[in-house]
Amino acid sequence: MAHIENKALGSDTGWAQGLRRHYEAYPYPERDPKDETKRLIQGSPSHILEIDHYLFQGKRDWSQPFSVLVAGGGTGDALIMLAQQLADRHCPARILYVDMSEASLDIAQARATIRGLDHIDFRHGSLFDIQRQDGPFDYIDCCGVLHHLPDPQDGLNHLTSLLHDGGGMGLMVYGTLGRTGVYHMQAMLKHMLASKARSPQDEIALARQLSAALPDTNWFRRNPFIVHHKAQSDANLYDLLLHSQDRSYLVPEFLDLIAHANLEAVSLMEPALYKPETYTQDRKILAETAPMSWQEQAAFAEYFAGNIITHLAYVRPQGRSTSSVASFEDPEAVPIFREPAVGTALQQLRPGQKTQAKRGGTIFSLKPDVLTCDVLKAIDGQRSWGEIKARLLSQPGRLKESRLDDAYRGLMQHLCDFNLVLVTR
Ligand SMILES: C[S@@+](CC[C@H](N)C(=O)[O-])C[C@H]1O[C@@H](n2cnc3c(N)ncnc32)[C@H](O)[C@@H]1O
For ligand 1, pick from 99, 154, 169 the residue to mutate: most ligand atoms within 8 Å of CB: 99
**Ligand 1: centre distance to CA 92 (Å):** 26
Are 399 and 371 in contact, with CB atoms under 8 Å apart? yes
Instruction: Return the pLDDT at 1.
Output: 31
Which ligand 1 atom is nearest residue 77's CA? 9
pLDDT surpassing 70 at residue 264: yes
Same domain, 237 and 254: no
Q: CA distances (Å), 7 to each of 126, 130, 364, in order?
A: 10, 13, 47
H-helix or E-strand spanning residue 187: helix 182-193
Which ligand 1 atom is nearest residue 129's CA? 20
Counting the structural domains of the chain, the total is 3
Q: Is 104 in the pocket of ligand 1 (CB under 6 A)?
A: yes
pLDDT digits (tens, 9 = 90+) for 20-29: 888 998 999 9
Instruction: Return the pLDDT at 229.
Output: 64
Same domain, 114 and 219: no
Same domain, 212 and 163: no
Instruction: Return the pLDDT at 196.
Output: 83
Instruction: Return the pLDDT at 4.
Output: 35
Instruction: Return the pLDDT at 22.
Output: 85
* Residue 331 binned pLDDT confidence (cut-offs 50, 70, 90): very high
393 φ, ψ to 5°? Answer: -70, -20
Same domain, 269 and 397: no
Same domain, 192 and 165: no
Judge whether 9 lies within some domain: no
* Residue 16 binned pLDDT confidence (cut-offs 50, 70, 90): confident
pLDDT digits (tens, 9 = 90+) for 94-144: 999 999 999 999 999 999 999 999 989 999 999 999 999 999 999 999 999
Same domain, 167 and 277: yes
**Ligand 1: centre distance to CA 376 (Å):** 39
Q: CA distances (Å), 23 to each of 72, 76, 104, in order?
A: 11, 13, 7
Instruction: Return the pLDDT at 11.
Output: 42
**Ligand 1: centre distance to CA 245 (Å):** 12
pLDDT surpassing 70 at residue 6: no
Q: What is the DSSP string of 288-340?
A: HHTTS-HHHHHHHHHHHH----EEEEEEEETT-SS--S--TTSTT-EEEESSH
Q: CA distances (Å), 12 to each of 2, 4, 318, in order?
A: 12, 8, 37
Please name the residues in contact with 305: beta carbons below 8 A apart, sequence gap of 6 or more: 177, 273, 278, 279, 361, 362
Are 186 and 158 in contact, with CB atoms under 8 Å apart? no
- Domain span including residue 352: 334-424
Domain boundary among 317, 343, 369: 317
Which ligand 1 atom is nearest residue 27's CA? 27
Minimum CA distance residue for ligand 1 atom 4: 74
Judge whether 78 lies within some domain: yes
pLDDT surpassing 90 at residue 421: yes
Q: How many whole angstroms separate alpha carbon 40 and alpha carbon 83?
A: 11
pLDDT surpassing 50 at residue 9: no
Q: Is 28 in the pocket of ligand 1 (CB under 6 A)?
A: yes
Closest Cα to residue 66, out of 80, 87, 47? Answer: 87
Instruction: Return the pLDDT at 15.
Output: 67
b/e burial code for range 312-340 (CB count within 10 A of at least 16 → b):
bbbbbbeeeeeebbbebeeeebbbbbbee
**Ligand 1: centre distance to CA 240 (Å):** 14
Instruction: Return the pLDDT at 158.
Output: 98
Instruction: Return the pLDDT at 14.
Output: 63
Q: How many whole angstroms separate alpha carbon 149 and alpha carbon 146?
A: 5
Instruction: Return the pLDDT at 117.
Output: 97
Minimum CA distance residue for ligand 1 atom 10: 145
Same domain, 195 and 141: no
Domain boundary among 241, 274, 289: 241
Q: Is 362 in the pocket of ligand 1 (CB under 6 A)?
A: no
Are 266 and 324 in contact, with CB atoms under 8 Å apart? yes
pLDDT surpassing 90 at residue 7: no
51-60, 107-116, 391-400, 403-412, range with the lowest pLDDT: 391-400
Minimum CA distance residue for ligand 1 atom 20: 126
Judge whether 2 lies within some domain: no
H-helix or E-strand spanning residue 268: strand 263-269
Same domain, 404 and 275: no
**Ligand 1: centre distance to CA 24 (Å):** 11
Question: What's the CATH code of the domain at 72?
Answer: 3.40.50.150
Q: Is 45 in the pocket of ligand 1 (CB under 6 A)?
A: no
**Ligand 1: centre distance to CA 99 (Å):** 6
**Ligand 1: centre distance to CA 83 (Å):** 18
Same domain, 89 and 120: yes
Same domain, 78 and 125: yes
Same domain, 274 and 388: no
Q: Is 36 in the pocket of ligand 1 (CB under 6 A)?
A: no
Residues 62-70 have a mean pLDDT of: 98
Q: Is the peptide bond before 29 cis (omega within 30 degrees of 0)?
A: yes
Higher pLDDT pick, 255 / 14: 255
- Share in percent of the chain as helix, strand, coil (round to 5): 45, 15, 40
pTM of the model: 0.94
- Name the average pLDDT for the chain: 93
Same domain, 79 and 117: yes
Domain boundary among 223, 241, 259: 241
pLDDT digits (tens, 9 = 90+) for 18-57: 788 889 989 999 999 999 999 999 999 999 999 999 999 9
Q: Is 99 in the pocket of ligand 1 (CB under 6 A)?
A: yes
